[in-house]
Amino acid sequence: MPPRTDNPTGASTPLADLEKEARENPHSVIAHHRLALAYWKEGRLEDALAAFRKGLEIDPAGYELRINLGTVLFQLGRFEEGIRENEAALKLRPDSAEAHANIGSACIQMQEWEKAAEHFERALEIKPEMVPALTNLTTVLVELGRTEQAVAVAEKAVSLAPTFGLAHNNLAVACYYAGDTGRAREAAEKARQLGYPVHPDFLAKLSG
């Protein structure tokens, strides 16, 4: 997930200048947020965490800070901490489809399928055309054995994003586990045509 930059503004600034800005303006949320985003872009995730947290010390109600901090924590594999930050973001904006989807994605990594489904479904109640949530929910529903529902969700993702290879791949997987091998082959072939790297083992299952 890319950094959220809704609050900080302005053109790209050299990192040294952003560090100086944060030092000279220790109580500026924007200065610390801009610095955190720059560290993140450079791959300096621990420094980004520190800068995001400094911003939150100044403004605990900073929604974008919470979302971005949570995402960096996910990238570091610190899923429970990242979930807590997104839960805090939800307290600030209960209608945040993004925060629900972020929690759902972390739950996939932790193989907490029921919780993942709950959050993706909530995200889609808020934002029904959120394609990443649809594709992730398809995966979760297959894991839960809710294959017919998975097919329906995957169909919606494909209808909204007909050139998105992952959506076709997930439709293929859902159809396969729902017992419709023929349709699974068609969807997998479409995914391949769109350049998506369908897993060779799955292709072998379809041709067997």
Other CB atoms within a 10 A radius of the CB of residue 96 amount to: 21
- What pLDDT, on a 0 to 100 scale, did the predictor assign at position 7? 43
Distance (Å, whole) CA 85 – CA 76:
14
Q: Spell out the domains of the chain, with CATH numbers in brackets.
A: 15-94 (1.25.40.10), 124-208 (1.25.40.10)
- What pLDDT, on a 0 to 100 scale, did the predictor assign at position 24? 86
Q: How far are the Cα atoms of 47, 48, 178 from residue 54, in angstroms, in the given order?
A: 11, 10, 49
- What pLDDT, on a 0 to 100 scale, did the predictor assign at position 11? 53
Q: What is residue 43's DSSP assignment?
A: T
Asked whether 187 and 175 are in contact (CB, 8 A), the reply is yes
Mean pLDDT of successive 10-residue stretches along the chain, which has 208 residues: 48 82 89 93 95 96 96 97 98 98 98 99 99 98 98 99 98 98 98 97 92
Other CB atoms within a 10 A radius of the CB of residue 92 amount to: 16
Residue with tokens 């959506």: 167
